[in-house]
Amino acid sequence: MKFTEKMSNKLNELLEKNYDAEKGYKRAAEKVDNTKLKQFFNEQAQKRYDFGHEIKTEIKNYGETPDKGGSTTGAMHRTWMDIETAFSSNNEETILEEVQKGEKAAIEEYNEVIKDTTLPPTTQQILTKQRDTIQNACQSAKNFEAVVS
């Protein structure tokens, strides 16, 4: 079986967004002083790196070519763009709010791909697991926000 071109494009978009989220989390980790928050951001960056490789492998398994890392075509993904403002203030609460915004957008994008009925079951399982992990990260960011505010 082979992915349709449309499905390949969707998966490559998720791949790029994971790379962008990884970069965003690394940048967030550099900007915060709170040790637990820094650790959380670094863990999320690693998860997004791992997600990217899982998606890349899945794309290859179905005979397609994954895009090269990161969306260099337009700097960072739009949902992580606003985080620049948060970084300039070094306000942990603002950074957490932007992280939540980015993760909520990622969840929507995952849901869009997951609901495609042409998606192979293995790919659907991988993406569902990743989406659920992102939902947990979003909730954790919300919990951190209550602590740092």
Segments making up each domain of the chain, as ranges = 5-12+23-67+74-148
Q: Which residue has the tokens 């082979």?
A: 2
| Under 8 Å between Cβ of 141 and 133 | no
Among 42-56, 86-100, 106-120, the range scoring the smallest mean pLDDT is 86-100
- Beta bridge mates, 73: 75
- pLDDT at res. 75: 46
- For the chain, the distance separating the N- and C-terminal CA atoms, rounded to the nearest angstrom, is 50
Provide mean pLDDT across the span 77-97: 66
pTM exceeding 0.85: yes
Kindly tell me if the per-residue pLDDT of 95 is higher than 80: yes
- Could you give the CA distance from residue 76 to residue 16 in angstroms, rounded to a whole number? 9
Is the confidence at residue 77, as pLDDT, over 80? no
Q: What is the CATH number of domain 5-12+23-67+74-148?
A: 1.20.1260.10
Rounded Cα–Cα distance for residues 89 and 16 (Å): 27
Residue 57 confidence (pLDDT): 93
Give mean pLDDT, residues 8-24. Answer: 90
Model confidence at 125: pLDDT above 90 = yes
The predicted model gives 28-51 an average pLDDT of 94
Picking from 84, 132, 136, 142, the residue whose alpha carbon sits closest to that of residue 110 is: 132
